[in-house]
Amino acid sequence: MAKITLTAALTNEYSTLFDTCIIDKPKEQEVDRTAGKIASNQVRYERVSALVGMPWYLVGIIHCMEASLRFDRHLHNGDRLTARTVHVPRARPIKGNPPFTWEESAEDALRLQGFDKGSDWSIPGILFKLEGYNGFGYRMKHPE
């Protein structure tokens, strides 16, 4: 499968999508509640973000995507922290022994995804990383 890179065209697409995004009225309270839950765990997210070198709120967004903001689940894929991951990516974290702390697992997941390699933390850069977290399969099959 071809590798996706953050081109100028893709940067423009992400910017346009972000700038034109409208939260449906019935979903506004849910979005506000979720943002509040993420913000209430800022200190915990900052601990992991400092180890990896990324914005704390992005850790929180990924936590919401992958584990429904549950601190008893792997950031890799939402599996329970009582064992290594079962779903893709399997058998993570490699180091240590279960049960894992949420922070141990989160650091492993983010390093596995390359968040520690530095990145463009602009809105388009963040949206690119979020799409890539679960893979560009949809984009590759539906480039239009």
- Among 55, 10, 9, 65, CA closest to 34: 65
Q: How confident is the model at residue 137 (pLDDT cuts 50, 70, 90)?
A: confident
Q: For 66-90, give one letter per residue: b (16+ CB within 10 A) or e.
A: bbeeeeebbbbbebebeebbeeebe
Both structure tokens of 128: 């690119």
Token look-up 């893979």 returns 135
Give the pTM: 0.91
| Per-residue pLDDT reduced to its tens digit, 32-80 | 999 999 999 999 999 999 999 999 999 999 999 999 999 999 999 999 9
